[in-house]
Amino acid sequence: MRAVYLATIASFFLSEAAIADCPSPDAIQAFVQDWQAKRPAKALPVSNMKDAICARDKLVEVLAGSQGKVVGYKAALTAKAVQERFNWNAPVAGILLEKMVLNNGATVPAVFGSRPVWEADMLLVVKDEGVNQAKTPEEALQHISGMRPFIELPDIALGPNEKVDGVQLTAINTAARLGIAGAEVPLEPTSETVKRLAEIKIVATDVSGATLAESVGSATLGNPLNAVVWLVEGLAKSGRKLKPGDLISTGSFSPLTPPKPGQTVTVRYEGLPNTPKVSVRFE
């Protein structure tokens, strides 16, 4: 099954040394200006994944000026339902910057971007550089220190008439904008933990306790740890490595849902010790 999960890895991590037909600095700057102003932007002029990766890296370089250093990576389109929404059949990935990750209980505007949505997610925390040699979920777990509950707040950012597929989503850094992270929950490096991560139930509720969405860990590539393996194989192809403390967003466990003013969303992880939770309030 691993071959199925990882066969499309090149969709994100084509060699970054390859020459790509990148968008111009003016095109990147125009997108950034719209992103900062929370205005719907025009699609970036990319025609293939190589162009999109180049565009993403240029975009992240500019955004780092206001959003801070790289703190991790985001695996997107890891769930079948989200792939279908974007008419794409493979994962893609983006880069997380320091100011994109907020603490549990944060309050953010409901209109935090031009096309804001929320989704239940999780972060895995890299323990050591041995993760870069991981070939299986079991091997990956040996080098993961824990899990942080995570509600991602993507901003699709483009105008409603713009085409958004895997290529364009990669170009705009997989819509990374914000996310709410809870405290780290240690993960024991055992086969039981691997099984538990695939079987945990992820439930999103509102302030009344009503269920907004629910899923299981296996919804993302069969196991959230497969997102780690997917990332490190691609990083190796491009001469890059994960480092201790890096965060890995493993992908969506719920539909991409527009937030409502006054709404509080809580995501809990049933099957992990003490049922970890994370919450965000939209104003």
DSSP state letters, 111-162: -SSSSB-BEEEEEEEE-SGGGGG--SHHHHHTTEEEEEEEEEE-B--B-TTS
SS3 54: helix
pLDDT grade for 210, boundaries at 50, 70 and 90: very high
- Look at residue 19 and tell me whether its pLDDT is greater than 70: no
Q: Are strands 211-216 and 201-205 parallel, antiparallel or unpaired?
A: antiparallel
Average pLDDT (208-216) is 97
pLDDT at residue 15 in the model? 41
User: For position 166, which CATH number holds?
Assistant: 3.90.850.10
User: Tens digit of pLDDT for each residue in 253-275?
Assistant: 999 999 999 999 999 999 999 99
Q: What is the dihedral of CA 237, 150, 222, 141, to 10 degrees?
A: 60
Cα-Cα end-to-end distance for the chain:
43
3: exposed, middle or buried (C-beta count within 10 Å: 0-12, 13-18, 19+)? exposed
Return the structure tokens found at 125.
């925390």
pLDDT band for position 235 (50/70/90)?
confident
pLDDT category, 237, cuts 50, 70, 90? low
Residue 251's pLDDT is what?
Answer: 93
Mean pLDDT (whole number) for 85-104: 93
Q: Residue 6 pLDDT > 50, yes or no? A: no
Q: What is the pLDDT of residues 102-138, one digit of tens each?
A: 999 999 999 999 999 999 999 999 999 999 999 999 9
The partner residues of 102 in beta bridges, in order of sequence, read: 180
Whether residue 212 is predicted with pLDDT greater than 70 in this model: the reply is yes
pTM of the model: 0.91
pLDDT band at 7 (very low <50, low <70, confident <90, very high): very low
Read off the pLDDT band of 5 (50, 70, 90). Answer: very low
DSSP character at residue 79 = S
Q: What is the mean pLDDT of the chain?
A: 91
With a cut of 90, say whether residue 141 has pLDDT above it.
yes
The pLDDT assigned to 231 comes to 87
186-204 average pLDDT score: 97
Tell me what pLDDT residue 17 has. 36
CA distances from 214 to 162, 196, 261 (A): 30, 16, 22
pLDDT at 77 over 50: yes
What are the residues whose beta carbons fall under 8 Å from the beta carbon of 225, sequence distance 6 or more?
124, 137, 140, 141, 144, 194, 197
**Could you list the residue range(s) of the whole structural domain that residue 34 is in?**
2-282
On the question of pLDDT at 18 being above 80, the answer is: no
CB 190 within 8 A of CB 62: no
Encoding tokens for residue 135? 């070939």
More confident residue, 152 or 17: 152
Tell me how many domains the chain contains. 1
C-alpha to C-alpha distance for 264 and 266, rounded to whole angstroms: 7
Cβ-based burial of 47 (10 A; exposed 0-12, middle 13-18, buried ≥19): exposed
Average the pLDDT over 27-36 and give the result.
97
Q: Rg (Cα) of the chain, in Å, rounded?
A: 18
- Distance between CA 237 and CA 220 in Å, rounded? 23
Cβ-Cβ contacts under 8 Å for 203 (sequence gap 6 or more)? 211, 213, 214, 267, 268, 270
Nearest to 33 by CA among 62, 54, 69, 70: 62
Q: What pLDDT is stored for residue 41 in this prediction? A: 97
